[in-house]
Structure 1
Amino acid sequence: MNRKLTDRVKKTLPINANARFFTETVEVETLSPLAFFEAGRSDYGDHRFFWQNADNTVKLVGIGRAAVLTADTERFQSISAQWKALCGGLIKEEKDMDPVLFGGFSFDPETRQDEEWLAFPGAYFTVPLFQLKIKNGKTYVSINYVTEEAEAAAEFEALRQERDRLTHIAEVEDFTIQSKPALISQTEIDTDRYMDAVGKVTSQINKQIAEKVVIARKIKLTFEEDFQQTAALNAITNEQQSSYHFGLQIGADMFFGATPERLVEIKNGQAYSACVAGSIHRGKSAKEDQQLGEQLLRDKKNREEHQYVVDMITEVFTEFCTSLRVNKTPKLLKVRDIQHLFTPVEGTLAEDMDIFRLVEALHPTPALGGVPRKTALEIIREEEQMDRGFYAGPIGWTDAAGNGEFAVAIRSGLLKGNEAYLFAGGGIVADSKPDEEYAETWVKFRPVLRALGGSLHE
């Protein structure tokens, strides 16, 4: 690929009426998504993403950037409008896959911005230059190219050659996952402040200022050398196989994780969500695991916490959908370290609605913010005193046809060279106890801690 074209396609292009959006897809032999992700490291390592849904039926990788959409105010409406404007200039054949827009929103843009999150704006989405999609057992690689030039044939031909080069690397070259670097330190950050916040929030709830508030905290890992992004994604996908896996790289920083919680999915006009709230650890035996699950299903605190989420998501779906299906009682959702109460919700999406409107209406759910939402957010800003960044925010994708899926970015961490910041929280209600809430956060830290080689707290 010539240097002139490389420099041009790496730039962020303004979205305006003159921009044309070309996409072209080829089907290829099955290849590893992580191998394709790694194939782009040397030339496109500053702008990559990875996505794998919970049942492994959809896998996405993006390399480079054809366009970047950002917003700090009216975030959801702005990203939606920018995406619609960009797709208005889309030129594709029927056989080509719909181009994908991938990214996420910070949890709350009104909180202070801590230094570790400086690379991440309030909303960040990217259209990849090269897009891998594995769906229903078939593997596709697409080129996405946004240009204002009247003649783009020569540049697009160069992109075809680059696509073939990257695909060849992923198919045939040795793909070595680097070993985890040695851990130098594992530091809890402001634990006393977290414990104090839980006590103060519990007091406010008992005074009926709020019904539930989610309070989170963070820890920091420092390694002997930089942690390879592909190695982190490989570890987390192996550790938490029934979760949604994601990685969003901006510059040298990558936000990644394995979350059990879908926020919303739209597929052919049907909208799906999952109410996930209330949790307990896994048992050491199948019998103990069953007993703990039954205890969770009977537990008044957890059932109330879960019902807050069910009521809120049902209310949103009632507004945005023409029909609705909600289970009357929760099930158990079991992942490696923890089991949750889980209630699926499904509806037929009304016309003129898109995934960003649903995401805006649903975020944050009571499982990540609290009840009532506005009051809970005010308490979080006052008492938590931490920038969550993209932790607990919506992360996911949509395509030019309006399909897409967003998950809630929990069980996650921010990888920065030889450092990593991990985040975890829990719902505080009237009978919450700081020591018990603190212990619960360690259960939620475990997936990313284990993936990075950190030491598990007992």
Structure 2
Amino acid sequence: MLAKVILDFGSARMRATTVAIDDPGPLERFLPESGPSTAFIRRGEGFVGLGEAARFETDTLEAADVWWEEISQQIDHDSEMPGEFGVGPLAVGLFTFDPDRSEERSVLTVPQTVIGRRGGRCWMTRLGVSHNDMALPPPRGPVQAPVGSTRIGGSMSEDVWTGIVGEVVSLIRSDEVAKVVLARDLRVRADEPIDLRFLLDRLIENYPMTWAYLVDGMVGATPELLLRRQDGLVTSRVLAGTVWQGSEGHEGRQLAAELARSEKDISEHEFAVTSVAEALAPYCHAMNVPDAPSVLRLPNVMHLATDITGVVGPESGALGLAAALHPSAAVCGTPTHLALDIISELESLDRGRYAGPVGWVGMNGDGEWAIALRGGQVRADSPNDIQLFAGAGIVADSDPQIELAETDAKLVPMLQALGLG
């Protein structure tokens, strides 16, 4: 476990100040060209974080939860918007899918400045020993589109990946496991360092219904909310079951109807719903799990979706709940321990932070954690390269070629942003 504290929280209490501000326009335009920055935005609401007051690198969400509780107790917060959801000092995080089988580290950071918007109200929070100047930072200049983007392959060929899908289908049909989510990757190389702010802009523009995120070199636009905790109410959006052709007009309506009737997709979805409901149940005083899913339409795919809600006590914060829910059957499989073993043995891919929790938690335990899907990772030692990821849930009726086509569809948002879609 590694903790890197940039501000010395041990020697003095920190002061945070939040002020209401006029609408600043698109939040992403305040992301600087260099230096640490984060973003978590959906439909124009959310926040960007500038700078890094503290940073914690770890292997577990549980350790991060303890660290943030200790840090938040040392912050004195003066606010013009007390009690507002998501307003004030935040910890922003990105966690590995399987820390026992990854060379990547999970990270939780505390931004020095947060600029946010929610429900038509806008604010800025600054954290530090003293900060008399509460003027907005200047907006950024133009961002650079990727130059010379080229696909350079992944960790395995398409034929190898479909062969692995076939092996997993055989295991499922022999009752060794019920569902396994398999991922594949694709690397893209540009002639110059990739400006992640440009990719974020394109994702926000093209996929406004998703949660667009930028944390520690990973950028994406995920449709799946692992959980939101707000004033004792917890919500989790479960997605599993996918179609990916046209979503407009008669064809779109027909595909949505077929998805809602598909036994294969309904079976895959039910595994995911059950895993989330069972994980949440010990923390909830009451829960509501809809009897049937709805169909969520995105620009290039449709998913079966179920929103689970529950009531939790003050002792159950967003980060602790995320630890209890991850990994769900939507990104891992059922039973979890068997699916993890099969993924480790057959997938031949270090997922890193792909399919791990990404989001934020506030000082009172409220927060939002999505699943880091439809994204890619740029590492500091190779700024011209980005590794993209996509996955598919494998059940007994899965067809390897169809599952491959599903992963191709899920790569589209990032490839579009890179100029390759």
Same-fold call, TM cutoff 0.5 = yes
More off after superposition, 390-399 vs 197-206 = 197-206
Residue aligned with 2:108, SS:
strand
Counterparts of 1:246 and 1:168, CA distance in 2: 21
Which of 14, 30, 41 in structure 2 is aligned with 1:36?
Answer: 30
Instruction: State the Cα deviation string for residues 387-437 of structure 1 (Å, max 9, x = none).
Output: 111100010001012210000111111134221111001011112222111
Change (3 A) 1:453 1:210: same
1:141 to 95, 100, 124: 124
- Taking the TM superposition and a 5 Å limit, the aligned residue runs for 1:431-442 are 431-442=397-408
Q: Does 1:61 align with 2:53?
A: no
Report the Cα distance in structure 1 between the residues aligned to 2:151 and 2:322, rounded to whole angstroms.
37
The residue aligned with 2:207 is 240
Deviation by residue 1:346-378 (Cα, 9 ceiling, x = unmatched): 111134111122111211111100000010001
| Structure possessing the higher radius of gyration over alpha carbons | 1
TM-score (norm 2): 0.92
Match of 1:47 among 36, 49, 70: 36
Partner of 2:138: 169
1:410 maps to 2:404: no
Q: How far did 1:227 drift?
A: 1.9
- Once the two structures are superposed, the pairs formed by residues 99-178 of structure 1 within 5 Å of their partners are 99-113=89-103, 120-121=104-105, 123-145=106-128, 152=129, 156-157=130-131, 160-161=132-133, 164=135, 167-170=136-139, 175-178=141-144
How far did residue 267 of structure 1 move? Answer: 0.6
Number of residue pairs aligned between Structure 1 and Structure 2: 408
Task: Please name the residue that 1:358 is paired with.
Answer: 321
Could you list the runs of 4 or more consecutive aligned residues of structure 1 that deviate by over 4 angstroms after TM superposition? 13-16
1:61: how far off?
A: 0.8
Look up the match of 1:322: 285
Matches within 5 A, 1:179-328: 179-191=145-157, 192-249=159-216, 254-283=217-246, 285-328=248-291
5 Å-filtered alignment, 1:17-32, equals 18-31=11-24, 32=26
- Which residue in the other structure is 1:6 paired with? none
Structure 2 residue runs of 5 or longer lacking an equivalent are 82-86
Helix, strand or coil at the partner of 2:353: coil
CA RMSD of aligned residues (A): 1.9
Q: Distance in 1 between matches of 2:359 and 2:102?
A: 24
CA distance in 2: counterparts of 1:187 and 1:70, whole angstroms: 30
Q: Which runs of 5+ in 1 are unaligned?
A: 1-9, 114-119, 146-151
Distance 1:27 1:351, change over 3 A: closer
Report how far residue 189 of structure 1 moved: 3.4
Contact 2:79 2:88 in 1 (8 A): no
What residue is the counterpart of 1:149 in the other structure? none
Q: Tell me the residue number matched to 2:308.
A: 345
Q: Note closer, same or farther for the CA distance 1:168–1:398 as it changes in structure 2 (3 Å cut).
A: closer
Amino acid at match of 1:27: A
Contact 1:65–1:128 (CA under 8 A) maintained in structure 2:
yes
Alpha-carbon distance between aligned partners in 1 of 2:166 and 2:9, rounded to the nearest angstrom:
48
Q: 1:143 deviation in Å?
A: 1.1
Q: Which structure features the higher share of helix residues? A: 1
Cα separation, 2, equivalents of 1:310 and 1:188: 31
Structure 1 residue 71 and structure 2 residue 58: aligned?
A: yes
Counting aligned pairs with the same residue, the percent is 29
- One-letter amino acid of the counterpart of residue 256, structure 1: V
| CA apart distance, 1:168 | 4.5
Other structure's SS at 1:290 match: helix
1:289 and 1:392 map into 2 onto residues whose CA distance is 27
Amino acid across the alignment from 1:214: V
> Residue 5 of structure 1 corresponds to which residue in structure 2?
none
When residues 322 and 284 of structure 1 are mapped into structure 2, their CA distance, relative to the original with a 3 A threshold, is closer
Distance (Å, rounded) in 2 between the aligned partners of 1:22 and 1:397: 20
- Structure 1 residue 204: deviation in Å? 1.2
TM-score (norm 1): 0.85
